Amino acid sequence: MLEKKSLPCLLRPAPVVYLVAMCRAVPVNDLLDRASQRSDKMHSLSTLLTQEMDSHFPPYGRMQMPRPADCHTSALQTPNDKEQALQVSESDLMSLARSLLQAWVDPLAVLSTSAITLPHPSKSSISSKIQELQEHSKSLADGLDILSGKMGPSAQAISFLPYTGGTDLGQDRVTILNKFNFLLSCLRRDSHKIDSFLKVLRCRAAKLQPELC
Amino acid sequence: MYNARMRTHLGLVILCVLSAARVCSSTSAPESPRKFDCRSREKETFSCWWEPGSDGGLPTEYRLFYTQERLREVRECPDYVSAGANSCFFDKKHTSIWAEYTMTVVATNALGNASEEFRITDVMEYVKPDPPVNVTVVVNSSAPSPFLEIRWKSPPDVDVRTGWVTLKYELRVKQNDSKEWKTVDIGSETFFNFYNVYPGLLYMAQVRCKLDHGKWSEWSNTIFAEIPKNHQVEKYFWIFVFVFSLIPLLMGIYILLLKRNVVKQCLLPPVPGPKIKGLNAHLLKSGRSEDVVNALMGNQNFPPVAAWTEQVEDFLLVSDSDEWLLTDSFASEKKKDIFIIPAGLHLGLEIQCRDLSVDLNTWEKTDDSKEEAKSNFLNTEPINLPVEKHEFLNGEEMSIQPLANTSYVDIQQHPTLTDYSRVKEVNDNTILILNEEEIPHGLDAEEVKSEVSVPDDYSRVKEVNSDVVFLEKGDSTDGCCKKKEDHYTDWTNQKPIMPLESELSKGFCLKMIASGYVDSGPAFSVK
């Protein structure tokens, strides 16, 4: 069995001969490009979700809405502007992206189950988008696992950000919708963070190909 | 003293009046500002504006204080000027993406202040870039059809080189006099080739962009482009090419037509059809049933005259007595001319079938009449007629002219003799074939007008008397002749190929030549 380091390949373990003959290492640039495309899609979906929610349910009130600081991922220290982002190392950027992605596995499941019974006229559209988000999230996580394997141990560290909101969004319609809205806004922010970090990584890895930026 | 008190009262009254007037012209504390809005052009800085409320008639000062999500301290707006009046500009140092801002705008005047709090959940919600710049369009007139090459540049303050910002563009094009725009999603490229244009029309195009799934920018400046009309030269060129390419094609077709037979031979080689020996396809095509029947049935045995007569023996009436001489007997019976005409012979003659045919029929019908016939005509040994091969040339014209006196049948033929080995003497037109035993009595040089085909085998010729060849009995007709050999009607056909029925024989008459020469015909069927 070949070591993963010497022959980075996305194929499952296979006979050596087959690996040598068929396996062709996918360059990091290409992997990052694919990953950033998926994160872009995720961000787009979450943006559409918030817009769809707002079209029929205006925010209850800015003051009474939970603050973004209350997002379960807000504890994670992330760069907040361009200078900071450009100074973070690639491994740290990858680690941040992976941590955020991992943190949304459970909440997405909660959102998915809640969307089916959501007291909202567009609940079917919302539900399908959330399912799509889950799929993209899963595949992106797999891809980032492989990418981080090439970047060193610091890239593979994941910060643990548990979701403590429980499986139930509330009892009454207003509470449910509020919570749903709040979670979607948190998701939109975090998906944008993931997208931005990966795109910075992609551009940095493609120094010789500025068109990828 | 009284004047001083009056003046004070007057001053107070004036002051009261004035102060009252001031109150009527609304001097009060300012109202809180309304309508707060922000905008970020490049995801690095942002500005916010507020709409001031009533200022209470007094100069009012507005100040903005903000807190960030993570910062505990309250900060004041760093720049009130750059973004215009009633605005606050946050530069790069003071801008945090994904961070919540809580803005508090305070309006202060001499009489009081008012404040309002605004929350910016995420600066990203307010991102709206400037429109693209340097939009250019070039008409590309290359074949096969013209198209528009549209190019632009990203807004100047957006940094696209670091990956921090992702711009996506949108293009729209329409005809000058149309109302419908055609919109195209571009992605991140800064050029596009628009093909859906037609010559002679004026088009206008605009581009806009969005940053990171944020809001769309305004549309860029409109650019115009006119597609020139088709060049005549190009048209003529293509017409020329088309015509010249037709010439070899037409030549090829012409050559094919000229040599169509050759081509036909090549492509469709004639398939050899089945051949039945002796069967003439043209005969079938002509469609005459008579001919068809003749051809089918009599083919092998009844080719034209010659072939048939090959098979048929030449019937000769032989007698050594005058009595027998047909000429006399027949002549006496007024049958001077007897024609035996073969089946395939197209003579167009009238066959005079008279009593003779009946007689002939009776001959063959009855065996008993053998002797009778024999006795009538023969008083010699039975005649075994050799098989003769008369080869009447097909199609040979036989002109039979009944002679006035002698009822001669003038049959002019040119038979061919296959076997000349026995020819003893040739006298005029008569060929005599003899063997040793036989001594012709003499050959009358009387011409036999009928150059009938000479039989192959004259071995049995006993005597030739005035064109009558006397035959001896021989073995020539062995088993081949299934006939009554001793019958006068021993005009056998050695080869029993003749399928002629007796009916056929009725159709034929026997016309005896005055000299007694009989030209045999298929009068008597061979069974």
Rounded to whole angstroms, how far apart are CA atoms B44 and B34? 26
One-letter amino acid at A206 equals A
Q: Is the pLDDT of residue B215 over 60?
A: yes
pLDDT digits (tens, 9 = 90+) for B120-133: 889 999 999 999 99
Of B163, B212, B213, the CB nearest to A213: B163
pLDDT digits (tens, 9 = 90+) for A198-212: 999 998 888 766 666
The minimum CA-CA distance between A33 and chain B, rounded to whole Å, is 12
Rounded to whole angstroms, how far apart are CA atoms A46 and A37? 14
Highest mean pLDDT among B28-37, B80-89, B406-415: B80-89
Closest among B461, B449, B417, B459 to B517, alpha carbons compared: B449
Q: Where are the alpha helices (DSSP H) in A63-168?
A: 82-87, 90-103, 105-116, 123-149, 153-156
- Please state the φ and ψ torsions of residue B270, each to the nearest 5 degrees: -65, 135
Rounded to whole angstroms, how far apart are CA atoms B474 and B471? 8
Q: Categorise residue B35: left if φ over 0, alpha if ψ from -120 to 50, beta otherwise.
A: left
Mean pLDDT value across residues A77-105: 92
Strands B46-51 and B34-39: antiparallel
Q: Pull the structure tokens for residue B314.
A: 């030449």
A204: chain B residues, CB-CB within 8 Å: 163
Interchain pair B212, A195: CB under 8 A: yes
Mean pLDDT value across residues B160-178: 91
Rounded to whole angstroms, how far apart are CA atoms B310 and B303? 10
The minimum CA-CA distance between A7 and chain B, rounded to whole Å, is 29
Q: Is the pLDDT of residue A126 over 90?
A: yes
Q: Treating both helix axes as pointing N-terminal to C-terminal, what angle do A90-103 and A123-149 enclose, rounded to 10 degrees?
A: 140
The minimum CA-CA distance between B237 and chain A, rounded to whole Å, is 41
The minimum CA-CA distance between A15 and chain B, rounded to whole Å, is 39
Contact at 8 Å (CB) between B192 and B171?
A: yes
Radius of gyration over every alpha carbon of chain A, rounded to an integer in angstroms: 19
At B506 the pLDDT is 41
Which residue of B42, B71, B164 to mutate against A (max A Cβ within 10 Å)? B164
Q: Pull the structure tokens for residue A92.
A: 């740290």
A210/B contact by beta carbon, under 8 A: yes
What is the band of B453 on the pLDDT scale with cuts at 50, 70, 90?
A: very low
At B268 the pLDDT is 85
A209/B contact by beta carbon, under 8 A: no
Q: Categorise residue B458: left if φ over 0, alpha if ψ from -120 to 50, beta otherwise.
A: alpha
pLDDT digits (tens, 9 = 90+) for B378-406: 444 444 444 343 433 343 444 444 444 44
Q: Pull the structure tokens for residue B375.
A: 């006795």
Q: Which CATH class is domain A28-212?
A: mainly alpha
Identify which has the larger pLDDT, B7 or B35.
B35
What is the band of B456 on the pLDDT scale with cuts at 50, 70, 90?
A: low
Of B96, B124, B161, the CB nearest to A210: B161
The enclosing H or E element of B299 equals none
The enclosing H or E element of B37 equals strand B34-39
pLDDT digits (tens, 9 = 90+) for B42-75: 999 999 999 988 877 888 889 999 999 878 899 9
Q: Is the pLDDT of residue A119 over 70?
A: yes
Of A63, A69, A192, the CB nearest to B69: A69
Q: Pull the structure tokens for residue A184.
A: 């979607």
Interchain pair B119, A63: CB under 8 A: yes
Average pLDDT, chain A: 83
Closest among A196, A128, A62 to B214, alpha carbons compared: A196
pLDDT digits (tens, 9 = 90+) for B393-445: 343 444 444 444 444 444 444 445 555 665 555 555 555 544 444 444 444 43
Residue of chain A nearest B45, judged by CA positions: A81
Q: ipTM of the predicted structure?
A: 0.83
Q: How remote is the C-alpha of B50 from its chain's centroid?
A: 79
Q: Is A27 helix (H, G, I), strand (E, B) or coil?
A: coil
At B279 the pLDDT is 64
Closest among B200, B207, B199 to B223, alpha carbons compared: B207
Strand partners, B175: B203
Interchain pair A213, B160: CB under 8 A: yes
Closest among A120, A136, A116 to A45, alpha carbons compared: A136
Of A63, A185, A200, the CB nearest to B162: A200
B160: chain A residues, CB-CB within 8 Å: 213
Q: Is the pLDDT of residue B153 over 80?
A: yes
In chain A, residues 166-195 whose CB comes closer than 8 Å to chain B: 185, 189, 192-193, 195
Helix, strand and coil percent figures for chain A, each rounded to 5: 65, 0, 35
The minimum CA-CA distance between A110 and chain B, rounded to whole Å, is 23
Interchain pair A202, B95: CB under 8 A: no
Radius of gyration over every alpha carbon of chain B, rounded to an integer in angstroms: 68
Strand partners, B127: B40
Which residue of A81, A185, A207 to mutate against B (max B Cβ within 10 Å)? A81
Interchain pair A68, B44: CB under 8 A: no
Identify which has the larger pLDDT, A102 or B301.
A102
The minimum CA-CA distance between A138 and chain B, rounded to whole Å, is 22
Closest among B389, B310, B302 to B346, alpha carbons compared: B302
Of B44, B124, B163, the CB nearest to A192: B124
Q: Where are the alpha helices (DSSP H) in B205-354?
A: 232-258, 260-267, 281-286, 289-297, 305-311, 326-332
Of A83, A189, A200, the CB nearest to B122: A189
The minimum CA-CA distance between B66 and chain A, rounded to whole Å, is 15
Q: Is the pLDDT of residue A17 over 80?
A: no
The residue behind tokens 């949108």 is B170
Residue of chain A nearest B93, judged by CA positions: A81
Q: Pull the structure tokens for residue A69.
A: 């600081």
Half-sphere exposure of B28 (CA within 13 A, CB side): 11
Q: Is the pLDDT of residue B105 over 50?
A: yes
